[in-house]
Amino acid sequence: MNIRSEQGFSYIDVMIAIVILMVGILALMAGMSASVLQAKGQEQQMIAKQTAASTMESIMSVKETDPARLGWPAVGNIGSNIIDGVPRGIFIVGMQNVRPDAGADEVLGTADDTGTPATALQRQIIITDVCDPERPSYNCPTPGPSVVRVRSVQVIVRYFVGALPRQEQLTTVLTDYAVVETP
């Protein structure tokens, strides 16, 4: 009689195969979650860039507004641009949660902004006077009779991807030099 022993997989073989399979599945899951996080990060980055751009446009529009209402003196952080002893700057100082709607002054980044604050987005507006040695002013080291005509504007928007903070930043220079027309 010919007895053939039946052979199969041992428990150790099966366990090793399951471990190898689980490592592959976990690697696949990690790759999928990383791609979802990357997509979410790109979405948040795009929202932050748009927020920074709309804030910068809002600041630029203040400069062009009627001086009796806002105008060049209002382009500054709160407490700055002191003219005749009165601070004229209207933009909030420090990192603040972004509110989606401009308030009564129709300018983003000011104290009267309305709406539920977006806790995932924070904005900081930094406006500094740029001293022009050819045109001295009251806010520069060499005082003179004129007002500051150049300001550096920086808008920083902080956003979060997962728990990691990231930021977008826009910087520009605004001028208020009068155009002199010749006849």
Query: pLDDT, tens digit, for every residue of 112-148?
Result: 888 888 778 899 999 988 876 665 555 555 555 556 6
| Confidence (pLDDT) at 5 | 65
Does a structural domain hold residue 76?
no
Number of domains in the chain: 1
pLDDT tops 60 at residue 180: no
Does a structural domain hold residue 162?
yes
Do 113 and 99 form a contact (C-beta atoms < 8 A)?
A: yes
| HEC profile of 125-163 | EEEEECCECCECECCCCCCCCECCCEEEEEEEEEEEECC
Measured between alpha carbons, how far is 172 from 69 in angstroms, rounded to an integer?
23
Does a structural domain hold residue 160?
yes
Does a structural domain hold residue 43?
yes
Does a structural domain hold residue 79?
no
| Confidence (pLDDT) at 23 | 94
Does a structural domain hold residue 150?
yes
Do 108 and 124 form a contact (C-beta atoms < 8 A)?
A: no
Q: Determine the length of the chain.
A: 183
- For residue 145, the enclosing domain spans 11-57+95-175
Does a structural domain hold residue 89?
no
For residue 32, how many other CB atoms are within 10 A of its CB?
A: 10
